[in-house]
Amino acid sequence: MSNTELPHKCSIPQKMRAIVLPQPDEQIHLNDVEVDVPECANNELLVKVEYVGLNPVDANFAKAGFCEWQYPHILGLDAVGVVVKANKGVFPNVGERVMWHANIGGQGVLSEYTTVPNFAVSVVPDGLSPSQAATLPCAGMAALISLDKIAIAEGDTVLIEGGSGAVGQFAIQYAKQRGADVFATASKRNHKMVKQLGADAVFDYNDKKLCDKIRRELGPQGFDAVIDTIGGDATSRNIELMRFCGRIACLQPLPHFDQNLMYRRAPNISVVSLSGAWLANSLCAQQWLSFMGNLLLEGALSGDIKTPSISAVDFSAESISAALKNQIAGGFTGKQVVQISS
């Protein structure tokens, strides 16, 4: 038995609490309900959920909904919990603490129990708190995928938009580990924190002379690569700041591009989508989520990677509704984490 004092013969109830979205709603009104504890299929684990990390994508889908959901829908994608049931021969074993990024096409993880395919989880090592592990999946995996898509190597110059956000924080640290020169944008109050994470230069994204100041610092050559967490007009601006045939990883929907800009820069544009691993039914991609989870857990345990600060959220519809509104409003640098059970 690892990471927990949970006995192997755990009493599993028939009903559980869950936080559901009755219907997509601009105001984000969630409900606290009681539903059946799910049954796990052959390769699935039944997990008693301990912590759920909230992300901007949770808030966006609470407002707009998702085409594959039926309502009411349980929200939440990033979870940490303890395995309480697994079929014979299925690893991880009962009693193991696991972390994962859930299937967006299925029910979410803001519930006392949930199921997850065994090949998509990562075992949380002893010595790392479960709440800390809950900050890792979505933001950390998005950062790792982005760096792989733009093939960051030693000596590259990379711009990381939104350096004080969770994705930006992980991307800065991993880019520095790969030997890149890191430029980042952030609000002025967060410049010190972003520098402490390893950014070589930080710029205020509200500065009207942002592009001029970047060019003065960078020189005429342009960035080798960009991680664009902002989207919209910032995407076109970032392509303008790249060298010819530069590389950009986009975490937001692509804007309409000016064709002259495309001819002048000929950018290599990559789209980052964690959900695609599930929506494409790609077993290889789902297993890759587990592999990235292992990397993140190892980095957090060793101290090589600093995790975002945690803001605790109560396991109630009212508190989570407010927290998701806060995700959209922005202006904070940490991760909101819901404690489901202890």
Quick: pLDDT tens for 110-146. Answer: 999 999 999 999 999 999 999 999 999 999 999 999 9
Give yes or no: residues 255 and 305 share one domain. no
Write out the residue range of the structural domain in which residue 66 sits.
Answer: 15-135+277-339
Q: How far apart are CA 300 and CA 304, in angstroms?
A: 6
Residue with tokens 């350096």: 163
Residue 6 placed within a domain: no
Number of domains in the chain: 2
Read off the CATH number of the domain in which 203 is found.
3.40.50.720
Last-in-domain residue among 236, 271, 306: 271
Last-in-domain residue among 253, 271, 289: 271
- The answer to whether 232 and 167 are in contact (CB under 8 A) is no
> Can you give the pTM of this predicted structure?
0.94
In the predicted model, is pLDDT for residue 272 greater than 90? yes
Last-in-domain residue among 227, 244, 271: 271
Read off the CATH number of the domain in which 43 is found.
3.90.180.10
Q: Output the pLDDT for position 330.
A: 72
Residue 3 placed within a domain: no
Give yes or no: residues 88 and 126 share one domain. yes
In order, the DSSP letters of 56-91 are HHHHHHHHH--TT--SSEE---EEEEEEEEE-TT-S
Q: Output the pLDDT for position 333.
A: 84
157 DSSP 8-state letter: E
What average pLDDT does this structure show over 182-211? 95
Give yes or no: residues 210 and 283 share one domain. no
Give yes or no: residues 233 and 294 share one domain. no
* H runs (alpha helix) in the chain: 56-64, 130-133, 137-149, 166-177, 191-197, 210-218, 233-240, 259-265, 276-279, 283-302, 317-329
Residue 158 placed within a domain: yes
Largest CA-CA distance found in the chain, in angstroms, rounded: 65
Give yes or no: residues 176 and 250 share one domain. yes
